[in-house]
Amino acid sequence: MLNWAGNVTFRARRVHRPSTLEDLRATVAGSSRIRALGTRHSFSDVADTTADLVSLENMPPAITIDPVASTVTVAGQVRYAELAAELDAAGFALANLASLPHISVAGACATGTHGSGVRNTTLPGSVRRLDLVMADGDVRTIGRGDPGFPGVPVSLGALGVVTAVTLDVEPAYEVAQTVHLDLPVAAALDNFRELVSCAYSVCLFTDWAEQVFTQVWVIARTDEPEPKIVREPWFTAQPATRDVHPVITNSAAACTTQRGIPGRWHTRLSHFRPECTPSSGEELQSEYAVPAAHAVPALRAIAGIAEAVHPVLQICEVRTVAADDLWLSPAYGTDTVTIHFTWIPDERPVREAIRLVEECLAPFAARPHWAKLTEMSPDRVRSLYPRFDDFRSLVREYDPVGRFANPFTDRYLHDGSPA
């Protein structure tokens, strides 16, 4: 069994697919080591194991909306596309979505996945409560305000199997998405804060073939003022007259509607339609979260290695994420700018490019995405999270026998030694 990109071959001796909570509890309690398997969109080995995997795909895909509390409680295996459609039909919305709506709620939260917008936190930032099957098979509920809660939403699967997630929701809204073409990198960076703050969500794309952001995706809520940035003298990018794919040579049929046409929030916030193959389909990915205060010098540094990066790059995307208090979140304690790389599917030269990018970003405290490729040492990664030792203590409390450990958590949580 492979992950979505085909770069990880899962080595599990068994894959369990329980259909009830009771079956899941018995499966977990009866295994020496077990990991939860989501939608397999991770490029790292975060979910890989030589022991047991458990998928919740056969369990009931429950979605329960509480209009009084402004929450939705969703089974962990449910994908954002399914959740968003049901929420919208009931008149509610999430604050944000990732580029791909194909991913599961529990998996996306566990790895710190995010969308874009200077006011929008990571996806786990909207988590109000979680239900987990613990190492002994018991179910534990932990909510916002409980001791240790900030360590739970982004858990890397190390605390238990998430069976339900309760998320904040708000009244449904509409957005309009406009793509602008060919903004010089110099102009964008000279006016970076104004640019990324001009609308609800702003994403910048470039393949670094030239010093140009080939596309600027601006998503504006229809209940907020129109973005003023398009009238600024330095903003020379021109609106696209047709829908486009971030990789300009690819068909835009898989992408969400653009050209400033208003639509429901869940039909615009993600880059790709849920019924289509997302992104390019054949690729590797890495991503780095840089404190917003360092974003411009970090991007200038990347621009300085453009010639070395471009040959193995499909597209680079720059987004913003608001600060949160989740211990292993890429935006823990600071507003963040993320620099994402979609590479060609050739691991050896891509790994070389990743090492170059990470060397370039080293002065800027860049945190690699947990679910994507990195060459950064575990010691270096741990040093980037002030509450990492607190998270390790939480793992020992929740899973004293190391039932949810795997090679990934052994590297990061246990200095490479078995749990």
Same domain? 167 vs 267: no
What pLDDT does 415 receive? 64
| Residue ranges making up the domain that contains 117 | 65-172
Q: Phi/psi zone of residue 145: left (φ > 0), alpha (ψ -120 to 50 degrees), beta?
A: left
Q: Name the helix (H) or strand (E) containing 185.
A: helix 185-190
Both 146 and 213 in one domain: the answer is no
Are 107 and 245 in the same domain? no
186 and 144 fall within a common domain: no
Give the other-Cβ count within 10 Å of 352's Cβ. Answer: 13
Structure tokens at 141: 């509920």
Among all chains, which residue has been given the structure tokens 């917003």?
A: 292
- Asked whether 15 and 55 are in contact (CB, 8 A), the reply is yes
Which tokens in the block code for residue 97?
A: 């979505």
Distance, in Å, from the CA atom of 218 to the CA atom of 211, rounded to the nearest integer, reads 20
One domain, residues 85 and 198: no
- Asked if residues 215 and 318 have their Cβ atoms less than 8 Å apart, the reply is no
- Residues 178, 220, single domain; the answer is yes
Nearest to 200 by CA among 254, 268, 257: 268
Backbone torsion region of residue 366, taken as left when φ is above 0, otherwise alpha when ψ lies between -120 and 50, otherwise beta = beta
Per-residue pLDDT of the chain (419 residues; tens, 9 = 90+): 999 889 999 999 999 999 999 999 999 999 999 999 999 999 999 999 999 999 999 999 999 999 999 999 999 999 999 999 999 999 999 999 999 999 999 999 999 999 999 999 999 999 999 999 999 999 999 999 999 999 999 999 999 999 999 999 999 999 999 999 999 999 999 999 999 999 999 999 999 999 999 999 999 999 998 888 878 899 999 999 999 999 988 999 999 999 999 999 999 999 999 988 776 668 999 999 999 999 999 999 999 999 999 999 999 999 999 999 999 999 999 999 999 999 999 999 999 999 999 999 999 999 999 999 999 999 999 999 999 999 999 999 999 999 999 999 999 998 644 43
In a domain, 220, yes or no: yes
Element (H, E) at 396: helix 388-398
Say how many domains are in the chain: 2
Residue 197 covered by a domain: yes
pLDDT of residue 417: 43
Q: What is the CATH number of the domain that holds 129?
A: 3.30.465.10
Is there a domain that residue 318 lies in? yes
Shared-domain flag, residues 158 and 203: no
User: Nearest Cα to 326, choosing from 100, 124, 168?
Assistant: 124
Structural domain contains residue 15: no
Q: Are residues 265 and 319 in the same domain?
A: yes
**Within this chain, do residues 197 and 301 fall inside the same structural domain, yes or no?**
yes
Final residue in a domain of this structure, among 172, 191, 211: 172
Residue 40 lies in a domain: no
Contact (Cβ atoms closer than 8 angstroms) between residue 18 and residue 30:
no
What residues are paired with 323 via a beta bridge? Answer: none
Q: Are residues 166 and 185 in the same domain?
A: no
The residue among 172, 188, 213 that closes a domain is 172
| Rounded distance between C-alpha atoms, residue 396 and residue 402, angstroms | 8
CATH number of residue 256's parent domain = 3.30.70.2520
| 5 located within any domain | no
Residues 239 and 149 both lie in one domain: no
Q: Is residue 6 part of a domain?
A: no
What is the DSSP annotation of 152-180?
SSS-TT-S-EEEEEEEE-EE--EEEEEEE
Confirm if 76 and 162 have CB atoms less than 8 A apart: yes
* pTM, 2 dp: 0.96
Q: Token match 């002065």: residue? A: 363
Compute the C-alpha angle 358/361/364, nearest 5°.
140
Token reading at 47: 């979910």
Exposed e or buried b for every residue in 174-210, given b needs 16+ CB within 10 A?
Answer: ebbbbbbbebebebbbebbeebbebbbbbbbbbbbee
- In this structure, are 316 and 227 located in the same domain? yes
User: Is residue 20 a part of any domain in this protein?
Assistant: no
pLDDT of residue 276: 83
Q: What is the DSSP letter of 363?
A: G
